[in-house]
Structure 1
Amino acid sequence: MHDAEKADGTVSHWKVGLTCAAVVAAAYLAAGLLFDPAPSTPQSGDSYVTPPVQFPVQIPGCETVEPPRNGSPSSVVFLDKYGYDNPFYPWFSGPKATAMTEALHAALPEDVEIAYASLQQSLLFEPILGEDPKQENYGSDTAAHATLLRGDRAGALRVSVRQSAQPVPPCVAGDLDERRTLADGTIVDTHDTWHEMNRVRTLSRTATAYLPDGTVVRAHATDEVTGRAAAVPLTVEELVTIVTTPGLRVTAPIPPATFAPPRWCITGVKQSPPIAEAQARRWNAVLVGIPLDGLTLSPPLGALLPAYMGGGVCQIVGLGIPEQDSLLSIKIIIGQPFPQQDSPDNDATSRRLADGAVLTTEESQYTASGPTKSTARRSRTVTVTRPSGTQITVDSSVTAADEPVSQALLEAIASNPGLDVS
C-alpha cells in the first residue's frame, strides 16, 4: 500500500493551535495499556508495590467507602477497522476528535508546552477501537497522550473520554482521595499516589469526572519521562479543570467547519536519524513560503512533525475540498546514501540538478484495500537526494479518475534549497 494510504499526517505544534485538516486518520494496529492503579499482584520476577491502604477509612465526599480491591495491568490489542467512523460509537467522529483536541489544548495551563513528537503523541484524540459499547473499559474510549514540558521538567499526560450508561462507581479505599459533587451534578474523583515497579517509583495524579450526560473523562498525569528532569506536570486542581472542560463532553456540539484530524505519516522503510525540532521549524518556515499556484491544501504545508515510524519528519495534507480523498505528502529524512543517477529503483527516472542533487520521479497505479472496499489509485512522486544525505520526497496520491499534482509543482517543492540540513 502506498505511504499516503498507510498512515496519517501531521500538524504544527499543538500548543500553538490545531489547524483543522481535511482527512481522516487511519490507524491499522493499536495496543492499549489499561491500568488499574489499585494494589496488584506482582508478575513473576517483578516487584510491584503501591502505598498501603488503610481500611476502614473516611474519604471526603463519600458517604460510604468500600474495602480495597486488587487490580492488575492488562494489555489489549485491537485492529482498527473503522478509523474515526466506528459505527458502534455514533457520538464520535473525526470532526468531534478535532473539537475535543482543541478543547483539551485550550484547557492546559499557559506555562505548559507539548513536547515535540509525532502526531499521535501530541494530545490528539485517536479513534475508538472497540466494537462492544457494553465493555466500557476495553476499547470504548478515545484517548490523547503526550509528554508535557513545564519549566525545566517534564512528565506524561493521558486523557480519555467515553460514554457510559453505568452509575457512578462506589468509593473504594485506595482508589481515590476525595470525591467532589459540583453544582451541575458532575462528580469528580481525585487521587494523588505512586507505585513502584522493580524499585523504580512513579508518581501520579488522576482526576475522573462523571458528567450528567453520561460522559466519563479521566486525566492521568505521571512523572514518567526520559531524557529530562521528571515531575508530575499538572496539579490535581489543573486535572480537575481538564476533566470538567465543556468541550470534552460527548454531547458538546461540534463547531461549524470543523474537519477531521490530519493523517499520521510514516517515512517508509528507510531509517533516518532523529531530526531536531529547530531544524523542523526551519523547514516548516520554508514550506509555508513556497508558491503553490493556486493549489488548495488542508491544512497548509509547514507542519512537519516526527514520523510515526521510520524516523525523519513528515506531513500529509488533503487536496481540494475537505471530503475529497486526494492527498499530498512530504517526508524528509537525513543520513541517506547519495544515489547513482543512472540506476534508480523500479521504473523511476532520474536526473542531476544544477546544485548537484539527484532528482528521481515515478508514477504508479495501485489498489488501496480498505475494510469495506478496494479503490484504484494513482500517484506521482518526486524525490530529491542532496549530497548532504538529506532526502525530500513529495507525493501526490489521488483516485484513478483524478489527476495528481503537476510534476513541475512537485519538483518545485522537493528541490527547494531551503529543505537541506542547516
Structure 2
Amino acid sequence: MSDKTPARAITGWTVGLWSFTAVAGGVIVGGLLHEPEPELTTAPPTTTVSVTPEAEPPTPVRVSPSVTFPTQIPGCSSVEAPSSDESYGAVFGPGEYDNPAYPWFSGRKAVAMSTALRAALPTDVTLEFGPLDRSLLFTPILGEPDSPFGGFTDARADLRRGAGAGTLSVTVEQSEEPVPACTAGWLDERRTAPDGSTVDLHDTWEELDGIRTLSRSVMAYRPDGSRIVVRSTDAPSVSMPTGTVPLTRDELVAIALADGLGVGDPIPPGTIEPPPPCHVRVDDSPAFGESVAARVNAALAGALDGVSTDRPLGDVRPDDFGLGLCQAVRVTTPGQPSTLTVSIAAGQPMPDTEPKDGGSARTSADGTVIEAREEYFTIADQSGRTAEEFVRTVVLTTPDGTRIDVTCRAEQPSAPLPFEQLEKIALAPGSVTP
C-alpha cells in the first residue's frame, strides 16, 4: 500500500442528486397585415403567449454505503483502493442458443445448467409462478467475446421462503482472466473452496428515494474458467422489499459451486433443448393466477392422444410481457415434426363469424366461435437458411371473452397436426376466467 493514507470514509454517503432549471419561453405576436382603419387612433394591443414546458420528473435519489479505505478483508492478503470506474450497458435481442462464438454453450447446456441450479436450491425455497424468463431458465448468450457487454448467460426468478420473499439471479460466463485483486467496496470476504475455486462474498444495500433494498452476492472464479455470480435480494419484482434476503451466504456459495453449473461441466445424457418461445396472441389480457394455470395444465395434459412431444403439454405460464398463459412444445411424433403452441387470453371481443383468408368459422350451441385457417410462409433463420412453413391454427372464443389459440407450425414436407387434433386441444381447458 502507499504511504499516503487516504481519508477513512473515502466516499461518504453516495447520494445522486440532479437539478434542473425550467425557463419559460414567450412568443411575441405583433403587427398586422392590413392598414389600420381611420377611426383607430392607437395600434392594436400586442398579444404575448407564454409557453411553459412540462416539468421533468425528478431524478431518483440513490444512496449506497460508504467505502472505508484502508481496510482489511478476511481471506485477502492485501486490499486495493476502491475504483470509481463503472461501466453500464446492455445487449438486447432474441438471440439463439447455438452461438458459434461460444462453443461451450448451447440450448441443451442451458437446460442442464437450469436443472443444476434448481437442484441446488434449499428444499424450503419456492419459485414464484411467472414467465419462462423468470423461472431460472438460462438465456441465450448475446454479443461477441470481445464486446464490453454481453458474453454471458443468466437466469432469474422470484423466490418465496416462509414469510419472506425476494429475487435470485445467476450469471455465468467463461473467462481466461486471472482472479482479480481484492478491492475495497467489492467484497466482504474471500474464500478458497476445496476444488480450488476462489469465492468472493458481499452484502450491501441501496436506497432509492428512501426505500432500501438489501442484496447478497457471491462471485465464484472456478478452475475451468467459469465466472459465476449468484445474487439474491429482498425485493420481489412486483412488490416492496421484505427486509430479509431469502438465501444465506453459505447457500449462495453452494449454488455457485454446484455441479453442472460450470462452463466445463458435461451435459447429462437425455437433456433436451429449451422450450420454443411463446407469446400470447392478443394485444392485452388480464393476468392469470397460479390456480387457474394449474386447472388449465390438468386439462391440457390429457389432450394429446397419440401425439408425442419433447416435453409434456401442461406447463402454461404468462408470456414475457406478463399476458395470459402460453406454452410451446415440439411435436416428436415420427413423420410429423412441428411446433405446437397454446395461447390463452381473457377479456377478448367476440370475432366476426365471416370466414377470413380462406379459413372457416362456426358458432357452437353455447355461443362459442371456432375459427380455423391454414397459412404458408417462407421463413429464414439468422444464418440465412430459408424454408417453407405450413401453419394450421384453431381459435376458440367463448361468450365470456376467453380466447384460446392453438397453432401448429411445420417445415415442409412435414405437415402440422390436423384441425381435429388442434380443436380438441383448444376445447380442453374450457372457459377460463382470471
TM-score normalised over the length of structure 2? 0.83
Given that 1:386 and 1:420 are in contact with CA atoms closer than 8 Å, whether structure 2 keeps it comes out as no
Q: Which of the numbers 43, 59, 76 marks the counterpart of 1:62?
A: 76
- Contact in 1 for aligned 2:159/2:165 (Cα 8 Å): yes
Is the contact made by 1:41 and 1:72 (CA closer than 8 Å) also made in structure 2? Answer: no
Separation (CA, whole Å) in 2 of partners of 1:235 and 1:164: 27
Equivalent-residue separation in structure 2 for 1:389 and 1:91 (angstroms): 46
Task: Give identity over the alignment, percent.
Answer: 44
Residue matched to 2:373: 362
Query: 2:165: which partner in 1?
Result: 154
Q: In 2, Cα distance between the equivalents of 1:86 and 1:420?
A: 39
- What secondary structure sits across from 1:375 in the alignment? strand
Q: Give the Cα separation in 1 of the matches to 2:140 and 2:429.
A: 38
Q: Is residue 218 from structure 1 mapped to residue 232 from structure 2 by the alignment?
A: no
Residue pair 2:393, 2:407 contacting (<8 A) in 1 also: yes
Q: Secondary structure at the match of 2:92?
A: strand
- Choose from 187, 197, 210 the match for 2:198: 187
Deviation at 1:49, TM superposition (A): 2.1
- 2:118 counterpart residue number: 105
CA distance in structure 1 between the partners assigned to 2:347 and 2:93 by the alignment: 34
Q: Distance in 2 between matches of 1:143 and 1:43?
A: 32
Distance, in Å, in 2 between the alignment partners of 1:228 and 1:42 is 21
Q: Secondary structure at the match of 1:120?
A: helix
The correspondence of residues 67-106 of structure 1 with structure 2, limited to 5 A, is: 67-72=81-86, 74-81=88-95, 83-106=96-119
SS in 1 for 2:170: strand
In structure 1, runs of 5+ residues without a counterpart are 1-37
State how 1:292-371 maps to structure 2 within 5 Å.
292-309=304-321, 311-320=323-332, 326-341=338-353, 343-371=354-382
Note closer, same or farther for the CA distance 1:123–1:91 as it changes in structure 2 (3 Å cut). Answer: same
Greater displacement, 269-278 / 206-215? 269-278
Counterpart amino acid of 2:276?
R
Give the superposition deviation at 1:402. Answer: 1.3
CA shift, 1:138, in A, is 1.8
Flag the 1:229–1:278 CA change in 2: closer, same or farther, 3 A: farther
Note if contact 1:283-1:419 (Cα within 8 Å) is conserved in structure 2: no
Separation of aligned partners in 1, 2:141 and 2:17: 29
Cα distance, 1:223–1:273 mapped onto 2, change above 3 Å: same
Residue by residue over 1:347-382, the C-alpha shift from the partner in whole angstroms, topping out at 9 and shown as x without a partner, is 321001233211000100012232122221010100
Tell me how far apart the structure 1 counterparts of residues 190 and 13 of structure 2 sit (CA, whole Å). Answer: 20
TM-superposed CA distance for 1:104, in Å, is 0.2
Q: Give the aligned length.
A: 380
Within 5 Å, give how 1:108-127 maps onto structure 2.
Answer: 108-127=121-140
1:176 aligns with 2:180: no
Instruction: Pick closer, same or farther for the CA change 1:40–1:366 going to 2, 3 Å.
Output: farther
What is the CA–CA distance in structure 2 between the aligned matches of 1:138 and 1:323, rounded to whole Å? 42
Q: 1:198 to 1:417 in 2, by over 3 A?
A: closer
Offset of 1:270 from its aligned partner?
2.8
Q: Residue 396 of structure 2 corresponds to which residue in structure 1?
A: 384
Conserved 8 A contact 1:268-1:310: no
Does 2:424 match 1:416? no
Hey, what does 1:22 align to over in structure 2?
none
Cα distance in structure 2, aligned partners of 1:74 and 1:229: 24
CA distance in 2, matches of 1:327, 1:186: 42
Maintained 8 Å contact 1:176/1:190: yes
Map 1:14-33 onto structure 2 (within 5 A). Answer: none
C-alpha contact (below 8 Å) 2:218/2:253 kept by paired residues: yes
Amino acid at match of 2:151: S
Q: Distance in 2 between matches of 1:46 and 1:323?
A: 57
Question: Distance between the aligned counterparts of 1:55 and 1:322, measured in 2?
Answer: 66
Deviation at 1:321, TM superposition (A): 6.5
CA contact (8 A) 1:154 1:228 kept: no
C-alpha RMSD of the superposition: 2.3
Q: Following the alignment from structure 1 to structure 2, what is the Cα–Cα distance between the partners of residues 214 and 39?
A: 36
Q: Distance in 2 between matches of 1:350 and 1:312?
A: 23
Q: Tell me how far 1:80 sits from its aligned partner.
A: 4.5
**In the alignment, what sits opposite 1:9?**
none
User: Hey, which bits of structure 1, 4+ residues long, moved more than 6 A?
Assistant: 38-41, 321-324
Q: Note if contact 1:195-1:202 (Cα within 8 Å) is conserved in structure 2.
A: yes
Contact 1:41–1:70 (8 Å) recurs in 2? no
Cα drift, residue 71 of structure 1: 4.5
The offset of 1:232, in angstroms, is 1.6
- Residues 272 and 311, structure 1, Cα contact 8 Å, conserved in 2: yes
Deviations 1:75-108 (A, max 9, x none): 3233455x10110100000110010000000011
Deviation at 1:143, TM superposition (A): 0.2
Q: How far off its partner does 1:400 sit?
A: 2.5
User: What residue in structure 2 maps to residue 227 of structure 1?
Assistant: 239
Structure 2 residues without counterparts, runs of 5 or longer: 1-11, 19-58
Q: 2 CA distance for matches of 1:312 and 1:383?
A: 15
- Following TM superposition, by how much is the alpha carbon of 1:43 offset from its aligned partner in structure 2, in angstroms? 7.2
Q: Which has the larger radius of gyration?
A: 2
Q: CA offsets, 1:217-238, max 9 Å, x none? A: 1001112223366232211111
